A and B are shown apart, each in its own frame.
Chain A
Amino acid sequence: MSHGATKEFKVTWGMVIDLDKCTGCGACMTACQVENNIAPMVDASNKLRTLSWVLVFELNNGKSGAEAEVAYLPRPCMQCGNPACVPVCPVVATEKNEEGGIVSQIYPRCIGCRYCMAACPYHARYFNWEDPIFPKGMEKALSPSTSARPRGVVEKCNFCHTRFMQAKEKARQEGGKPNELADGAYMPACAEICPTGAISFGDVKNKEHKVFDLAQGKDAFRLLEKLGLNPQVYYVSKREWVRKLGDNYAATGKPGAAKKHS
């Protein structure tokens, strides 16, 4: 298959998440649900049936007392450069084909086979187990950004793609270049709302965008880098244990060392 082959784009939207700034407050998860019309669930404690396009994981260093450390890791879709989910879809309901490198997911096309979910090691893909049922009246507060999905289809974070479209429209209106958006012209809801600004967003190939440098910083890493999926989401932490945990300790050359934490 197409593994190992990363499709290159002139613009590559990427996220850099500073784990040393994420307090785990959850505002990103809420903003994401609001932007993307995810219906609230009565029992959201059953995490095996929820829809969380961005999910904040809790990581710990396994120590106790004053040695104990915790880090929160928001996990959106990684928009992999070499996505595992795209080639497996039997009906082309997901593709990575558009300038910007965002992996799309088209709900009216999806047949709900869940093969892409089986393919994604980040668990970024979610299945609509039920039709979206909003408490009475709450459908008046639906966001115009994302169509509501029926049950039986897969969905995932798309970096609030509609905001990308809107940014391009605005650029057109103002006589700017829609294909060369300025830093900050396009921001996903999670990045915009984060009260500590832990989430930076921009074109990782554009020197004018601050994520360009951030993604190359010495403390930057990507999750499961060794799998070769080439994610467009980068994480930054000055804490070594966090960085090492991100790739199964592969960086240390000590395979399996992460087992204690799993």
Chain B
Amino acid sequence: MGLDRRGFVKIVVGGVAGTLFTPVIWKSLDDVSIWSQNWPWIPRLNTGEVKAKAALSKLCPAGCAVKVKTVGGLPFAVAGNTANPMSKGGVCPVCAAGAQLMYSPARVKSPLKKVGEGKFEAIKWEDAEALLVEKLGVLKGQAGKIAAISGDETGTAGEVISGLLGGLGNAGYYMMPSEKFVAEKGVKLMGGSGQPGFDIAGADLVLMIGADALDSWGPTVANQKAFAATRPTGAAATAKFVYAGPVLNHTAAVSDKFLPVPPQATAAFALGLANLLIGAGAVSSASDFAEYKALAAKHTVEEVEKATGLKAESMKELAALIRAAKAPLVIAGASFGQGAGALDFVAGASLNVLLGRVGGGMTLLPAAPRAVGGVGASDKDAASFLAEVSTGKAAPGALIVYAANPAYALPQADDMAKALGNIAFKVSFSTYMDETAALCDLILPAPHPFERYDDVLNPYGVAKPTYLVGAPVVKKPVMDCKDPVDVLLGAAGKLGLTLGFETYADVIKAKAKALGADFDALAAGGIWNGEPKGGALNLGASALAKVAPVTLDSKTLALAPMSNQAYGSATLATPPANLLAVRNTELLGKDLFVQMSADTAKKAGVAEGAKVKLSAGKGEMKARVHLNEGVAPGTVAVLMGFGRSAWDEFTKGKGDNVYKILTVSDEAGTGLKVWAGSTVTVAKI
């Protein structure tokens, strides 16, 4: 029997009917459904045991004592270390992204040698180290020919670098500008010595003049914890916080009171307050009280109003608050953590002297013993050093850059980057491809904080000597990197120097021993605290006499750079995860917004959303305007951390860099370079 068309159709129909009685259709549908619920191209989760290991996350300037959570040994999250008395379980927004930053696309993946403008070639570690030794060896013993810039003021790495420089016959170890640098100068002007500390936890009124203590000044997480302890949710607050500064920033948002003070009027504001306090009966046993009193008397409420726009009432209310407090504390600093003059610091700190709070609220920390012999950091900061390089006054042949980004984060940044070009050989020890690394001849990738040993001694602002140590969380770095200190110690050996150590871990152990601390306990997330030293301070009256009267012409606006910890720092561009926290009134697409009050904008002839050019000195930057009534009159606030030219797709080319328009001036009587009082011209484009 042949199979005709009709027979064939019947077989097919039978087949279809039969199929309905098999799992073919139903099972396939079910499996397809499952497939559609679990697309194969979606990343899969890691499995294994979840552990939490104590670590020291030096991603933020102060460093956070944290716990790194791992799954099957891979770090995936950062949690607070509740056992650590400094961070008490808190984590700053940058360190919160720490695990992901291990895989940041901006990481330097292997040693790189410059082979042309902006071009690098991956080389082997042994070649890289040989090159380093060769370049340093040539200049060995020639004073002024080898210099180093470091942005790490808390790590013992600095001792190794300065020790190495010393051994090579050089003393040019320069720190990036910081609060600590200025504050120590200020303390000297007040007849004391050492790093000042501030006991926020012990105060019942904290007046922060410029210092953004709850977001980016000092040991922020510790500050935040101290703040939080005074205001239990649902109960009465036990301390008052007042913020006086140019912008209603994160600190001001939670303070009981915000006083808008333009950045250049900080000292005048503090002296005006001193005047009111003295008027209300405050006296000091300091030797220069009479001089100080006379000086303060010049800063009447009317004068303060002229300089700051603050009403007499506000000042009087504040004075009354301070008078009523049992343990008031004044913290003065630049609103963005650097560049303030020593006089601003002295003016603020003098209030602590006047209120009799030195030793209690404001402390002085003793110098710590060194683990590595050497002279320590130069008296000049990196900005002054590079200014000399640009004029030819300093002519180093080799520069070591460690945890610093001078090409991006110094005032008149473009000039600074140019000055770096005058140095024949530059080597950068950097975890990430930052602006400075991109200009260097050799880049030696440094491990991420979770991949190395490191330490933190006395982060600026702590009231007591404080020491933290971090040990690696992972067995091996995820990139081909080596600890910079290990590399430098190795180089030192090859250059015929003996610094006494083989590895950074050994250096830190020695440091811990010198301090009398238990290394193992510290590496497990513990803390070492010493006692502040005693010692009185005077009111710094002779220095304060040089406080210049505030003048502001109508054409320029005061520039208030604003830092927001979540958005990164000089040495860390905004972590990819944190971009979400950046508001679209701060950055939209590639446009950065500068902020000013409606009044100021009107005077400057600009409106919300307008595109503007800000210029000062030789620098200029482009931005758009966002109106913010929390900005002091006559002031334009600019967020820091944007306008990156290196890094990765997440940050490169977004916004503009405010450092470009910060202008340096010499502070009267202190010889310091300052830029906290920069002014800018705002023009519509």
Residues of A within 8 A of B (CB): 16, 18, 20-27, 29-31, 33-35, 37-38, 40-47, 50-52, 56, 58, 60, 62-66, 68-72, 108-109, 131-132, 134-144, 147-150, 189, 192-198, 200, 213-214, 217, 219-220, 236
Contacts and interface: CB of A to CB of B under 8 A. Distances in A.
B325 interface: no
B527 to A, nearest CB: 17
A236 to B, nearest CB: 6
Nearest to B250: A23
B587 A45 contact: yes
Contact of A44 (B45, B71, B579): B579
A135 to B, nearest CB: 4
A138 B633 CA distance: 44
B676 interface: no
Query: Which of A43, A56, A139, A193 has the largest number of chain B CB atoms within 10 A?
Result: A193
B629 A44 contact: no
Contacts of A18: 231, 233-234
A68 B629 contact: yes
24 contacts: A22-B254, A25-B250, A25-B565, A27-B96, A29-B581, A34-B100, A40-B579, A41-B579, A45-B588, A46-B584, A64-B599, A66-B310, A66-B314, A69-B248, A70-B630, A134-B43, A135-B105, A140-B46, A140-B478, A192-B79, A195-B90, A196-B224, A197-B228, A197-B233
B77 interface: yes
Nearest to A29: B581
B581 A30 contact: yes
Contacts of A29: 93, 578, 580-581
A64 B599 CA distance: 10
A142 B254 contact: no
Ranked nearest first, the 8 interchain pairs of A and B with the lowest CB-CB distance are A26-B581, A195-B90, A40-B576, A108-B37, A64-B629, A44-B579, A138-B103, A26-B566
Interface in B544-584: 565-566, 575-584
A46 B580 CA distance: 9
Most chain B CB neighbours (cut-off 10 Å) among A58, A62, A64: A64
Nearest to A216: B234
Nearest to B655: A45
B584 A148 contact: no
Given A25-B93, A140-B103, 10 more contacts: A18-B231, A29-B581, A30-B97, A45-B582, A60-B630, A136-B105, A138-B103, A189-B77, A192-B89, A236-B234
A142 B92 contact: no
B487 interface: no
Given A40-B577, A195-B221, A31 B650 contact: no
A41 B580 contact: yes
B227 interface: yes
**Interface-centre pick from A26, A68, A69, A200 (highest chain B CB count, 10 A):** A26
A70 B100 contact: no
B78 interface: yes
Contacts of B209: none
Nearest to A61: B629
B47 A195 contact: no
Interface in B207-227: 214-215, 220-221, 224-225, 227
B459 interface: no
B251 A23 contact: yes
Contact of B254 (A20, A45, A141): A20
A63 B629 contact: yes
B224 A70 contact: no
B50 interface: yes
B492 interface: no
A31 B96 contact: yes
B481 interface: no
Interface string B577-607: 1111111100111000000011100000000
Interface of B: 37-39, 41-47, 50, 71, 74-80, 89-93, 96-97, 99-100, 102-105, 214-215, 220-221, 224-225, 227-228, 231, 233-234, 248, 250-254, 258-260, 309-311, 314, 478, 565-566, 575-584, 587-589, 597-599, 629-630, 633, 648-650
Given A42-B650, A45-B587, A33 B252 contact: no
Contacts of A109: 37
A200 B233 contact: yes
A214 B234 contact: yes
Residue of A22, A144, A194, A236 most packed against chain B (CB within 10 A):
A144
A195 B77 contact: no
A195 B220 contact: yes
Contacts of B44: 142, 148
Contact of B42 (A63, A131, A143): A131
A142 B45 contact: yes
Nearest to A218: B234
B233 A214 contact: yes
Contacts of B566: 25-27, 30
Contacts of B254: 20-23, 196
Contacts of B46: 140, 142, 144
B630 A193 contact: no
Contacts of B92: 25, 27, 195
A36 B457 CA distance: 34
Nearest to B654: A45
Contacts of A195: 80, 90-92, 220-221, 224-225, 228
Given A68-B629, A193-B91, A132 B233 contact: no
Contact of B253 (A24, A33, A132, A144): A24
A108 B492 CA distance: 58
B253 to A, nearest CB: 4
A34 B76 contact: yes
B269 to A, nearest CB: 12
Contacts of A65: 260, 309, 597, 629, 633
A150 B39 contact: yes
Nearest to B310: A66
Given A70-B630, A200-B233, A52 B580 contact: yes
Given A50-B580, A137-B478, A148-B42, A30 B629 contact: no
B105 A34 contact: no
Contacts of A22: 253-254
B76 A141 contact: yes
Nearest to A26: B581
Given A193-B91, A195-B221, A141 B102 contact: yes
Contact of B650 (A34, A40, A70, A217): A40
Contacts of B99: 34, 141
B252 A30 contact: no
A43 B580 CA distance: 9
Contacts of B251: 23
A31 B95 CA distance: 10
Nearest to B585: A58
Given A23-B254, A60-B629, A138-B100, A70 B45 contact: no
A170 B179 CA distance: 46
A56 B580 CA distance: 10
Contacts of B97: 30, 33-34
Nearest to B74: A140
A24 B78 CA distance: 19
Contacts of B47: 144
A236 B45 CA distance: 37
Nearest to B226: A196
A138 B234 CA distance: 41
